[in-house]
Amino acid sequence: MRAPAWALIAGAELRMLGRSVPAVAMGAVVPAALGLLIVWAEHDTGRAGRGTAAGLQLVVLLTLTVHGMGTTTLVSRRTQSVLKRLRTSGASDAAVLTGTLAPSALLMLLQAVVLIVAGGGRLPGRPWAPIAAVGCGILVAGGYAVITAGWTAAPELAQLTTAPLALTFVGGAFWAARTPAPDVELWMLALPGVPVTQLARLGWDEPGMTTADGLAAAAALAILAGAVTLAAARVTRWDPRR
């Protein structure tokens, strides 16, 4: 039985990722190191709470691994005319983009498991909440990668061009972390880092979070994922920039 097109593309991307030491360092080591720094800070001070710390960790991984590494990969493949060739191979546009970004998402999931173990291995009491945060968060960060790749002329510029959208993730997460869970307003959920943090708080039973708050955060993140996906479909660039 022949594997779907996106899986074949993802497999090829994984093999290329394994051959690139800089890509592994930037996509795997740096985000994981920052996540471990958050674990250490939480163990040292205990001020944030397990749920808030987990939310910050997830946002760091979504921003650096899925968004940052995904943008670099897309721009590299577009510069090499790989995206253009894949598009003419019979694979759908969605399959090409999904296959190209899948390794970044898989790496992010593996990093999340490592950080949960490093944080003491305590599993969430409400697993649906962090699962929703990760699933919708990957869609948002992947859409961000497609959008950012559209205005990035070369892979070397990705660290600069990812900054504006990355701030909506990281800035939102730190804003939520500094705001008590019950005081987070609905309009704050427009920044993706806020609902991710709120869902992590609910998952790890942080005081002040209710199921209704978690459902509102999940709905906001799902709406953001849909809006970003639609925007990404409109701005995708397939040909190398002249």
* pLDDT tens per residue, range 57-72: 899 999 999 999 999 9
Question: What tokens does 178 get?
Answer: 């500094």
Please state the φ and ψ torsions of residue 147, each to the nearest 5 degrees. -65, -50
Smallest CA-to-CA distance from 58 within 180, 169, 165 is with 169
Counted residue by residue, the chain has a size of 242
Q: In this predicted model, which residue has the larger pLDDT, 114 or 233?
A: 233
25-34, 51-60, 195-204: least confidently modelled range: 25-34
Give the C-alpha separation, 212 to 12, whole Å: 42
Each residue's pLDDT tens digit, 145-174:
999 999 898 888 888 899 999 999 999 998
**Stated pTM of the model:** 0.91
Instruction: Give the distance between the most distant pair of CA atoms in the chain.
Output: 54
Find tokens 């660039």 and name the residue: 237
Give the C-alpha separation, 14 to 110, whole Å: 14
Give the C-alpha separation, 76 to 212, whole Å: 42
Smallest CA-to-CA distance from 43 within 54, 29, 59 is with 54
pLDDT at 229: 94
pLDDT at 181: 87
Q: Strand locations in the chain, DSSP E?
A: none
Cα distances from 232 to residues 34, 84, 144, 190, in angstroms, run: 28, 17, 7, 17
Smallest CA-to-CA distance from 212 within 191, 181, 178, 190 is with 181
User: For residue 75, what are the contacts with CB-CB under 8 A and spacing of at least 6?
Assistant: 149, 152, 153, 154, 155, 157, 158
